[in-house]
Every structure is written in structure tokens, then in C-alpha cells.
Structure 1
Amino acid sequence: MSSTLPIRVLGGPTAFFEYGGLNFLTDPTFDAPGEYPNPGRPTLRKLAPTSAAPAELGRIDVVLLSHDEHADNLDRAGRALLAEVPLTLTTPGGGARLGGTAKGLADWETLDLDRPGGGTVTVTAVPAIHGPGPRETVEPVTGQVVGFVLTGEGLPSVYVSGDNASLDAVKEIADRFGPVDTAVLFAGAPRFPVLFDNAALVLDSAQAAEAARILGARRVVPVHCDSWAHFTEGREDVVTAFQAAGLADRLD
């Protein structure tokens, strides 16, 4: 079984890949650069477009949406796209808010998807915490978030972290699924001075390397580390951190 499958990183948290004959898209953000005012919250500013438009990707079977409440994970064009996709998997609250073909999954809940050639892909919802500290402290501020693990007979395992900042959550996932073949890790260390004393709301680069070690990940694809002004670390920081950890050979 090969641990490598092509993953097309489009910018920000958005990536596209085929798995078990199904085409998956993570957190769709296809707007042009611009600002997203949010009364009572920091304004988000997108700096660069994605490298491809949805029409260039072809068929999209499933969107894996870590959460629907922030424009840097689901922007206006992304929301419009969901109406055209047969299935969007997200948080329980997000499923209720989005309606349509969106389905919310609680932590450790599974869903089997039929593969075009027979068999199934199993999607397992896994914990994610969008900021520092325990879930009960973080969720009232930044909202509910979910990650995903994909498995299937004869297929490499894939972990999509979503906007997670908790290495404790990563340890829980590793206990059930490690070692994983490919980890799509959301990084970038997004920060706002007014939230949690400017602590990172998603993994910083050193934490991403530690997450890879905990997971025993054979391959790591970093996303969520470009295109937005509040991301304080970029791809080069991720590379440096993986080199320092002796894990550079795992980085895609």
C-alpha cells in the first residue's frame, strides 16, 4: 500500500485530492483578496487568491469543512460552492446552520461513503480545538471545529486536522489511528492580540512538527499557512521547524 496520494494545495486551508475514487475538497476559500468585517470580532483580510477556481478542479464529491463560522475557512464563494456539492461534512452546529447537503458529525462519529468501483471510504470525525486551552474555554470564543480521518480497504490513512491547536487532541487521534500515512496539517499560527493574549489559534510550525511525530505520520502536507494576514508563520517556517525536528524527509 502506497502512503502517497496526490494532494493539490490551492491556498489557505483549501486542498483537493482523490481518495478511493472520490474527490475531496477541504475548507473552500475561493474569493478574490479582500476584507471580511465581523462586528465585535477582528476583521479578516485575504491577501492572495487560490491557485485554481472550482471549475478547474472537476467533480467534487465531498467537502471536508472544519467549521463554517470564519471566512478564512469558508468564504462567500465557498458557501456558494456547497450548494453544488453532493455532501459537506462538518461540525454538528455547522450542519444545522448550513442545511442542504451538509451533515454534522460529532467526535468519533463515522460515515461510510460508497466508492465508485465498490467498497467504502470511512470518514471519522475527530477532535479539534481552535485555540489554546480546554475546549470549554475555547469554543465559546472561536466556535466548534472538527477534523477528519479517512480510511478504506487497501487505501492509505489520511488525517485532515482542521483548525486545531491542541496536541492533546492529536494524541487522542494517534492512539486510535496512528501511525497515519498522510497528515494534512493546518498550521500558520494565526493570532489576534484581542484573543487569548495573542496565542496561536491553530498549530504553529514547531507544534506541527510535534504533531507529525505524535501521529507517526509518514507524510505531511501543510496547509493554512499562506494567503491571510493573520497567519503569522508561513511555509518557510514549517520547513525550518521540520528540519529542526529531524522530520524534513516527511514534509511534502
Structure 2
Amino acid sequence: MNSASRPDHHTENGFENRYPLPEGKRSFFRFLRRRLFGNETWPKAKHQTGKTPITPPDLDAIHTPDPEIAQVTWIGHATVLLQYQGINILTDPVFSDRASPFKNFGPKRYSPPGLTIDQLPKIDMILLSHNHYDHCDLESLRQIGDDPTYIVPLKNAALLKEAGIESCLEMDWDQYAEVNGVKIVHTPSYHWSSRKISDRKEMLWGGYALTFANGFKFYFVGDSGWNEKLFTELGEQYGPFDLGLIPIGAYEPRDFMKAAHVNPEEAVLIKQVMGVKQAIAIHWGTFVLTSEPVDEPPARLHSAMEQAGEDPNHFIALPIGGTHHHIHPPQEG
């Protein structure tokens, strides 16, 4: 593809965010130096057990769902099971103890998965947002296997082949596909990708907007910082949505994380500009990735919804293992 015909987010060195904002100096080594020697007090995973609400999963509902009611079960972090119209969809499956390339080093899970892989129903589709270790865990994918259709951003199929996954559908931003009768568009997010020090932005990242046969619309943001121009444009192009997964955690220290992760107040802005009627909070309560207290995000989310003049019940933080049931279209009375 020559430079005259390629999309703006395709560059000679990989991919770039749409409408990039000044990000300052950000690198793994700068992050590690700040983590180890900075002034912030970071939570320790071993001290966080019990700070994220956990409930036993409703296995009967999960294995015999009502096909007319959309249900989402929060397994942990960005791993969510969406079930609707007989289709089972899993987002960013991470079931391992660490979000890391190393077995004994890196962010350690302090909240167990709400479901084990063996407890999952037959998965039809997996949505992968990007290749960071807290979203793309090859060992989990190996265990899940090659039966589901994997929907991945551009250049990620080669990575999944390392886990023996061959049935990948790679998508570019704003590209459409149809799988199991569900229309899918790969949406931009404001983020980046990397599995090692030298491959930053070589693989694409993003979210997904799904439309089911009856018009029900579902949005998975993926990982993202707040970019008003980007999300306003996406909302006009693809919204509104009946149900959505929006990240709320891993946002401090703010000057460093702002370009990568939204805070709860910005998560509410995403809900508003994307027209998400019912949002489920993700990307919190599972791994210590940043310096905010691990139980702070849902409390700030509740306050942010009230301050925005919205009903806090329309953007909820489920307990791990908890299931939300969503009727479409909403019943009156």
C-alpha cells in the first residue's frame, strides 16, 4: 500500500492513534522507574484480596440462557461473557495468575476469575481488543482452543498462531464483518500496543461495535484514554448502543496514564457521547496496574454518574462472577 492510498493511522513504522494528542515522555523504562522510585504509593497485590466484590456465578443461567435477554457476566478485568440470541461471546480472555510474559514477575491477579475456563459454555466468538498482557493471554487462548472465531485487530493473527489459534479474522478500524449473523465493526480506541520493548504500535488495537439481527447494539471499548474528538465522532457514526463495556480503572498517576486509560469521570463521558444506555464497568478490581486504590474506581464512578445528572444504575460495577440481564427492547411500566 503506497502512502497516498493508506489510511492515516497506517504509518511506515506501524499504527498511530486517530487525532493524536500530546502525550509527553512515555516508555516502559520511565514507567518502571516511576513505579519503583517515584513518590506514589502503589497497592501491593497480596494486600488487595477481598477488596473487589465477588459472587458465585449463576451457572444455570450461564449454561441455559434466555435467548431473548442479553446477559453479561464479569469474569474479571476486561474478560466478559456476553450471551444473546444463542450466541456466546467472550472479550479479552485472561484467566492466568499474572498479566505478564513471566511466570513469577509482573502484575499478579488478586481476584480469582469469576468463571474457570472449564465452566464456560461453548464460546462462538472471541473479541480481542489488543495485545497487552492484561488483555491477550496466550495460555488462556491455548486452553480455550481454536473452535471459536477470533476477531482481532490487524497484525494480531500471527501472535495468536503462537497459541495454536488459526481461525482469526483480522480487522482494520471501521471495517465491517458478519459472524454468526452478528454485524461487527472494529472501532478505534485511543491506546497503543506492545508485547515487548521493541514492537510498540506494530499491531493494531481498538474496540468493537456489534449489531444483532433484531437491532440490539453492543459496544466493547477495549482499552482507551479519553479523546473528545475521537469518541464524539464514533458516537455520531456508530451509536447509540443498548449495552456497553467501558473501562474505569488503571488511571493513576494521571499525568502518565491519561493517554492510555480513562478515569471514571471520563468513562462517563464515553457513555454519554457514544449513547450507551446501559454500561458495565470493566478494567478494574483484578490486577494492580497503577497507583490508585483498587476499590476506588467504582466509588468514583457512582459519584461521576450523579454529578453528570445520570442514574448510577445505568453504569454499574458488577461483582466478579456477577451477571447483568438486559431486556431488549426495554419493557414499559
- TM-score class, shorter: 0.7 to 0.9
Per-residue Cα deviation, 1:172-191 (whole angstroms, up to 9, x for no partner):
22111222111211221345
State the match for 2:298 in structure 1: 235
1:20 to 85, 100, 110: 85
Size of the alignment, in residue pairs? 231
Q: CA deviation at 1:53?
A: 0.5
Distance of 1:203 and 1:48 partners within structure 2:
22
Q: Give the superposition deviation at 1:51.
A: 1.1
Checking the alignment, whether the CA contact within 8 Å between 2:187 and 2:209 is kept in structure 1 is yes
Matched residue, 1:213: 272
Q: What is the Cα deviation at residue 203 of structure 1?
A: 1.4
Take 1:60 and 1:35, find their aligned partners in 2: how far apart are those partners?
A: 22
Other-structure match for 1:128: 189
Coordinate RMSD, CA, aligned: 2.6
Map 1:170-249 → 2, pairs under 5 A: 170-191=231-252, 197-199=256-258, 201-231=260-290, 232=292, 233-247=296-310, 248-249=312-313
SS state of the match for residue 129, structure 1? coil
TM-superposed CA distance for 1:83, in Å, is 2.6
Match of residue 153 from structure 1: 213
Judging by fraction of residues, say which structure has more strand.
1
Q: Secondary structure at the match of 2:133?
A: coil
Q: Percent identity?
A: 21
Deviates more, 1:214-223 or 1:168-177: 168-177
C-alpha deviation, 1:171, in angstroms: 1.7
Which of 181, 205, 225 is equivalent to 1:165?
225
Partner AA of 1:180 in structure 2: F
Structure whose alpha-carbon radius of gyration is higher: 2
Residues 81 and 164 (structure 1), Cα distance of their counterparts in 2 relative to 1, 3 Å cut? farther
The answer to whether 1:97 aligns with 2:162 is no
Question: Where does residue 145 of structure 2 map in the other structure?
Answer: 83
Q: CA deviation at 1:82?
A: 4.9
Give how far 1:125 is off.
0.5
Equivalence for 2:321: none
Cα distance in structure 1, aligned partners of 2:143 and 2:252:
28
Q: Could you list the runs of 5+ residues in structure 1 that have no partner in the other structure?
A: 115-119, 132-138
Give the AA of the match of 1:73. Answer: H
**What is the SS of the residue equivalent to 1:6?**
strand
Unaligned runs of 5+ residues in structure 2 are 1-67, 193-198, 317-333
1:44 aligns with 2:107: yes
| Distance in 2 of aligned mates of 1:184 and 1:177 | 15
Q: Which residue of 2 aligns with 1:136?
A: none
Inter-partner Cα distance in structure 1 for 2:99 and 2:70? 34
Q: Spell out, residue by residue over 1:137-196, the C-alpha distance to the aligned partner (whole angstroms, 9 max, x if none).
A: xx9469631100000231410010001113333222211122211121122134579xx7
Which letter maps to 1:243? E
CA displacement at 1:122 relative to structure 2: 0.3
Q: CA offsets, 1:46-100, max 9 Å, x none?
A: 32221111221211011101012x2211224323135333211111121232231
Write the distance in 2 (CA, Å) between the matches of 1:48 and 1:128. 27
Provide the C-alpha distance between the structure 2 equivalents of 1:182 and 1:198, rounded to a whole number of angstroms. 26
SS at match of 2:155: helix
